[in-house]
Structure 1
Amino acid sequence: MKILLWGAYQQGNFGDDLMAILFAKKFSQAGHTVEVFGLQETEASLNGLVVCNDIYSGVKNADVVVLGGGAVLKEAQIARILLKAAPRKIEARYISLFRAISRYGTPVCFTSIGSDGISSFSDVAWTRRRLFTSPLMLGGTVRLMKDVEILGSKSVGAEFIPDVLIGAAHHFGHEPAKWGFQRPKILLNLHQRHASFGRSFVSYLHRHLPDAKIVISNSHLPSSGLSYEWKGDLSGELYTPYKDCLEFRDLIRTVDFVVSSKLHIGLTAMSYGIPFMSVGGRGKVRDQLHQLDLQSECYVAPDDCASVFEADFSQRAYRIKERLDQIVPSLAVISSGHFDVLDRLVLS
């Protein structure tokens, strides 16, 4: 079967690209032919993947389109769309995909997608709503339990399975990371708007965990042109520029704690048993942490430094680690269900 894997791969973003590689390799191992729409050549060449950059030819040649993960069920941010080109381009991709599947009658399904800060299907951007209500939509899997009901309100079949990247270590055949917090290595990945928190946190670590090694990194390919992430500006931390998603995955495997607002950086870390704390993460991050019963420990508002700095941060790390050791092994196995559902829907 010929599969066109479609997602937010044009942004050179760690989480989306890691899912693209994971899904594409799983499909290829099952004997299918895969093209990945819009994946940057850096990732494609490193991982032996074939890229399609023309949505119409890609859809025409495919037997099925698979939406390969990410926060697809999002509201239309009208102000951002009016003021900035990047959001307009993102929504234009959904319009082009809908037109292409309608022209060629190519069915579409979804795997490990989710909502981001919405409460009903009517909140979803119209560019995306009509894709999901198309008669060509076969259904698929979602990573938040509430999304089953949201899609079900429009008779779209969706099965809840934990996010595929909570099983990243399992899917890549890796053992849990070797973990300790006596001389911890801590990875920071923050938006520039949270630089004040970053400075305060680094200063706190220098005072209370002087043996800690601090690594700061971004999470987009240089070719993406995205430069909104904080690079750090205090002594003692190491800035490590992002090069590709598998190298970054392997960096995550070497650390003892991750601080980021990014959902998939956090889930990948958790898959290896590494504690994660979100600073000002979006609705999708809060929903995911709440679903894992980790929101009180793992979510911090950027202006709420006191909850981190007035307590023993090491004890927070140990509490999160204990919870991860309890839940991740079973969630990782269950997350393989995304592949089983796809087999049942279209791939067998």
Structure 2
Amino acid sequence: MKVAIWGSYNYGNYGDDIMAIQFAKYFKSINVRPVVYRLNKQLAKRYQIQTTDSLNELFDDAEFCIIGGGGFLVENFSAPFEEDFRRLKIVSSEKNCPVYPISIGGEGLGKNTSLSYWRQQFFQGETCKSSSVRLPSDRALIHHFGKEVNYYPDVLLSVSEFWQIPSKIKYNNIINVGINIPNTIQCKWLAFQLSVIASIRRDIVFHFIKTYLPSSPINTELRPKQLSSNIKYHVYTDPKLTLEFLASLDLVVSYKLHLGLTALALGVPFYSLGGSGKAKAFLNSIGADFAVWNPGDKRFKVAAFLSNPQNIIQAKNRFNFTIIDKFAVESRGHLELLNKLVKNVSSSFR
């Protein structure tokens, strides 16, 4: 049985890639042949996953298609993404292939969300079937389009179990902080402040993080001007390697949702710095509003917080990991839903 996996996988982005690969690995575990749309060729080869850049080839002979995660219910949507949905709507209709959006999400606005034209056309269309969403508020939006919907916490909250990432044991008193910030003037000032802190406090190491593959054309994240024993640079090349790296940290500060969310899933606290609405909505859902820093905090507040080792060490205690662990278990619902879809299709062959 062939199943198509569609998503924004052509940018070499950590959060999107790990969702595509996790869904594909799950399908393979239940003897289904997944084909992923526009996954990086090297990652596809490494994980033995079939990929294609052709939408027609993706849908040919597919029993059904899933949208494999993503923030497709957010309001601000760029032209390339809108064009992708136009093509998805047209080709899925031509091929008469059902599409099931899985673990998609918005910004907590629910039915008040204003979606772009082609997304509305897709979600209202005949080929779009039932969905699973990662925020409770997103259910009202999908219901608004007349479709069935299930809520489960974000599928990537299960990364520790799914990818078998062990907890790291600390062998010294060095504090490791992951920093993922955009390449803006304010963030450059923050990076300078962190370099000063690193030169004074030899017990703190700041790891700047690039969440795009080296081959990606996107270069919006800040890279430190100079590296040292206390200023390091992690470049995403493989989901598992980045997961193992995240597990070694004491704190992650990021403006990206899934870098921080997967860190939390590994037991590492996550603070969102000037992040998107979907990052704020997720942190709100786990009772961690305190972990949202506003863009203006980049100037002084963040550096002051990170200059004190006790703030970093105690950050984990502020999070309710009982809720996070509970969400991790419940997040398996997305994969269980896929299993039911496969069984329903298989039973129709008998």
AA matched with 2:223: K
Per the alignment, residue 83 of structure 1 pairs with none
Distance 2:129 2:268 in 1: 36
Matching residue of 1:41: 41
Report what 2:336 is aligned to.
340
Whether contact under 8 Å (1:140, 1:341) holds in the other structure is no
Quick one: which amino acid aligns to residue 240 of structure 1?
Answer: H
Equivalent position SS for 2:105? strand
Query: Which amino acid in 2 is paired with 1:292?
Result: I
What's 1:125 paired with? Answer: 116
Distance in 2 separating the partners of 1:319 and 1:259: 11
Counterpart secondary structure, 2:51? strand
- Structure 1 window deviating more from structure 2 (89-98 vs 283-292): it is 89-98
Larger mean Cα displacement after TM superposition, 163-172 or 316-325: 316-325
Taking the aligned partners of 2:12 and 2:337, their CA distance within structure 1 comes to 27
Matches within 5 A, 1:94-243: 94-116=85-107, 118-120=109-111, 123-178=114-169, 182-193=173-184, 194-204=187-197, 206-207=199-200, 209-233=201-225, 236=228, 237-243=231-237
Give aligned-pair identity as a percent.
Answer: 26
The Cα RMSD (Å) is 2.2
Question: What TM-score, normalized to structure 2?
Answer: 0.89
Q: 1:75 to 1:184 in 2, by over 3 A?
A: same
Report the Cα offset of residue 235 of structure 1. Answer: 5.6
TM-superposed CA distance for 1:234, in Å, is: 5.0
Tell which deviates more after alignment, 218-227 or 195-204. Answer: 195-204
1:251 aligns with 2:242: no
Within 5 Å, which residues of 2 pair with 1:14-29? 14-29=14-29
Show structure 1 runs of 5+ residues with no match. Answer: 78-86
**Are the counterparts in 2 of residues 95 and 127 from structure 1 also a CA contact under 8 Å?**
yes
Contact 1:12 1:40 in 2 (8 A): yes
Contact 1:177/1:272 (8 A) holds in 2: no
Structure 2 residues without counterparts, runs of 5 or longer: 345-350
Partner residue in 1 for 2:347: none
Q: Is the 8 A contact 1:275 1:324 kept in 2?
A: no
Q: Please name the residue that 1:80 is paired with.
A: none
> 1:68-83 counterparts in 2 under 5 A?
68-77=68-77
Query: Do the aligned partners of residues 181 and 271 (structure 1) sit closer, same or farther apart at CA in structure 2, a change above 3 Å counting?
Result: farther
- The 3 A distance-change label for structure 1 pair 295 and 122 is closer
Structure 1 moving runs of 4+ over 6 Å = none
Confirm or deny that 1:281 pairs with 2:275. yes
> Contact conserved, 1:20 with 1:68, CA < 8 A, in 2?
yes
Q: CA deviation at 1:243?
A: 2.1
Q: How many residues align?
A: 337
Residue matched to 1:314: 310
Find the aligned partners of 2:321 and 2:109 in 1 and give their Cα distance. 31
